[in-house]
Amino acid sequence: MPGDEIGTDTRLVEDLAERLAAVPGVVAVTLGGSRAVGAAVEGSDWDFGLYYRGGLDPADISALGWPGRVFAPGEWGSIVNGGAWLTVGGVKVDLIYRDLDEVLRWTAAAGDGRFEIRREVGYVAGIATYVLAGELALGKVLAGELPRPVFPDRLRETAPAAWSRLAAGALSYAEVYAGRRDRVACLANLCQAVLATGQGRLAAAGEWVLNEKRLTERAGLHAIQDRLAQPWPDLDALVSDIRCRLEPGDDVWVSG
Q: Where are the alpha helices (DSSP H) in 112-221?
A: 131-138, 153-179, 183-204, 215-218
Distances (CA, A) of 211 to 12, 59, 93, 232: 28, 28, 18, 28
Q: What amino acid is encoded at 161 in this protein? A: A
Q: What is the pLDDT of residue 235?
A: 93
Q: What is the pLDDT of residue 2?
A: 33
Q: What is the pLDDT of residue 36?
A: 66
pLDDT in tens, 199-208: 999 999 999 9
Nearest to 100 by CA among 15, 30, 18: 30
Q: Where are the domains of the chain?
A: 5-143, 153-246
Contacts of 78 (CB under 8 A, 6+ apart): 118, 120
Comparison of pLDDT for 195 and 255, the residue scoring more: 195
Which pLDDT band, with edges at 50, 70 and 90, does 34 fall under?
low
Superfamily grouping for domain 5-143: Beta Polymerase, domain 2 (3.30.460.10)
Is the pLDDT at 1 greater than 50? The verdict is no
Is the pLDDT at 215 greater than 90? The verdict is yes
Concatenated DSSP letters of 78-100: TTTB-EEEEEETTEEEEEEEEEH
Is the pLDDT at 5 greater than 70? The verdict is no
* pTM score of the predicted model: 0.88
Distances (CA, A) of 165 to 82, 145, 158, 192, 200: 30, 37, 11, 12, 10
Q: What is the pLDDT of residue 255?
A: 33
Q: Percentage of the chain surpassing pLDDT 70?
A: 88
Q: What is the pLDDT of residue 40?
A: 56
- Stretch 167-190: mean pLDDT: 96
pLDDT in tens, 217-256: 999 998 898 888 888 789 999 999 999 888 744 444 333 3
Q: Chain-wide mean pLDDT for the chain?
A: 89
pLDDT in tens, 151-175: 999 999 999 999 999 999 999 999 9
Lowest-pLDDT choice from 37-41, 49-53, 193-197, 202-206: 37-41
Is the pLDDT at 64 greater than 50? The verdict is yes
pLDDT in tens, 89-140: 888 899 999 999 999 999 999 999 999 999 998 999 999 999 999 999 999 9
Q: What is the pLDDT of residue 96?
A: 96
Is the pLDDT at 187 greater than 90? The verdict is yes
First and final CA of the chain: distance in angstroms? Answer: 54
Q: What is the pLDDT of residue 8?
A: 46
Q: What is the pLDDT of residue 58?
A: 97
What's the gap between Cα 203 and its chain centre? 13
Q: What is the pLDDT of residue 245?
A: 87
